[in-house]
Chain A
Amino acid sequence: MKVVRDLVAAFSMKSEFAARRNKLYRIAYSWCHDPALADDLVQETIYKALKNASRLRDVKTMDSWLYRILYNCWQDYLRVKGRNVEFVEMHDEDQSGQADNYQQSQIVKRVRSSVEKLPLPLREVVTLADFAGFSYAQIAEITEVPIGTVMSRLFRARKSLKEQLLEFGSEDISEFKLRRIK
Chain B
Amino acid sequence: MMNINDITEDKLNLFIDEQLDSDEMNFIHEAMLDDKELRERVCQLKAVRELIGYAYSEVPPSRHVNTGQKRSNTYAGRAVAASVLLVVGVVLGWSTYEYSPNAIQAISAENTFQYVANHVKAEHGTRKIILHIDSSDLKVVNSALNEADQLLATYRKANAPIELDIITNKSGINILRPGMSPYIDRIKELIDNNEAVAVYACDRSVAKALKKEGMAIELMPGVTKDKSARELIPERLKKGWVYIKA
Contact = CB atoms under 8 A, between A and B. Distances in A.
Contacts of B50: 130
Interface size of A as a range: 35 or more
A165 interface: yes
B60 A130 contact: no
B80 to A, nearest CB: 8
Interface in B195-246: none
Per DSSP, chain B at the interface is helix
Given A29-B60, A90-B60, A166 B48 contact: no
A104 B95 contact: no
Given A107-B87, A108-B55, A112-B55, A166 B95 contact: yes
13 contacts: A22-B62, A95-B60, A97-B58, A103-B88, A107-B90, A107-B91, A108-B54, A115-B55, A161-B51, A165-B90, A169-B95, A173-B91, A176-B88
Interface string A103-141: 110011001100100000000001101110101100000
B49 to A, nearest CB: 5
B64 interface: yes
A169 B116 CA distance: 15
A39 B62 contact: yes
Contacts of A69: none
Interface stretch (A7-15, A57-65, A151-159): A151-159
Contacts of B70: 97
Contact of B77 (A97, A154, A172): A97
Given A21-B64, A95-B60, A172-B91, A165 B51 contact: yes
B2 interface: no
Interface in B41-78: 44-45, 47-65, 69-71, 77
A67 interface: no
A84 interface: no
A103 B48 CA distance: 17
B183 interface: no
Nearest to A46: B64
A158 B48 contact: yes
Given A131-B53, A173-B95, A155 B88 contact: no
Contacts of B37: none
Nearest to B98: A170
A74 interface: no
Contacts of B57: 26
Interface in B17-38: 17, 19
A99 B45 CA distance: 25
A158 B93 CA distance: 18
